[in-house]
Amino acid sequence: MIRNRADLRPLRPLARLLAGAALALTLAAGLNDAAATTPVPGAEAEAFVAARDAWLADDEGTALPALATLAAEGNAAARVLLGQIDKMPALQGPYLAHLPRAQRIALLRAPGGMSGRSWLAEEAGHPLVAAWIALRTPGGGPDLITRFEALDEPRAAREALVTLAAREHPDLTTVDPAAVDGDLLYLLWRAADAPHRAAIADLVPVGSAQWQMMGEVMDTPALERWLMASTAAEPLLSLCRALCDDDQMAACLGAAYGALGSHDALLTLGSPAESLIAQEEFLNSPRGRASTMRRILLASSMRARRAMLDRVSSEVSCLGDALRAEAQRYRPALPGVSDGG
């Protein structure tokens, strides 16, 4: 009988190898099932590509009416993109924010009902859309993680695990830690009992920011080193590279992470659908950077936002100035009213 954790260590490499092989077989099977329906139909249509590119350039006034027209004509890619924008507030820019409600609904949704219908419902037969609908419907389980992975949607797979953890899904305890994105192990650790927590903790890299979610204290220099090096922090890295000089990068990353206020949120930032827009392309686009700033702003209530902006500006002005400018884009222009954050 194995009586302590030390006795398990020689077996862990083999266990991880077997788990990895099992996951590879699962994903391969999923890819075979999805191959006939991906990429999303209409994604290569010239009109869709032009509208998509305009949206990435943060030209919502050009992009959204074009996407709405394409969606009404049956373009599945336009329907998926609009459906995701409708469901993800951080993707909704100032053009949408300033429109009357009826016009927003007309742009983002299919006709029908009191408030329109999600375009995603019109494409529910597509594996990617079916997975999104299942995730947003109570009752979905950990199989959603592998479904998104099989569809080449790693950001969505991370969101699936974050969502299931927030719901305290009981089946999370059955998920193999060796088969999970290494930046998300803390979610399985939280769901596990004491004996299994020790085994999961052994898989968490030294210096990972997720130790903070596992009861450990992380000083500012250590956190900044992780933010500078981790692919999980790429949404903030892309933003800070665009806003600040190299010697301000660490401060920008630390301030952005603090203002976001949620490690879960950091791991789910990014492309609405990687089948349509690669994560790197999205994060490095004007709309991608704006969505990251919007998510940071939405993390604070209107009452707390002024203090957050003051704090960030005192730490690193390049980020603080950009966040203030982004907040101002959403404010109606009223005579005699100054910004103030």
Amino acid identity, position 17: L
**pLDDT tens, residue by residue, 111-141:** 998 899 999 999 999 999 999 999 999 888 9
**pLDDT tens, residue by residue, 190-232:** 999 988 999 999 999 999 999 999 999 999 999 999 999 999 9
Angle, CA of 308, 311 and 313, to the nearest 5° = 105
Domain boundaries, the chain: 23-33+138-204, 41-125, 206-326
The pLDDT-based confidence of 62 (bands split at 50, 70, 90) is very high
* Tokens matching residue 73: 């004509």
* Tokens matching residue 331: 């404010």
Rg of the chain on CA atoms, in Å: 21
Beta pairing class for 109-110 and 117-118:
antiparallel
Main-chain phi, psi angles of 178, to 5 degrees? -70, -15
**pLDDT tens, residue by residue, 248-282:** 999 999 999 999 999 999 999 999 999 999 999 99
The pLDDT-based confidence of 148 (bands split at 50, 70, 90) is very high
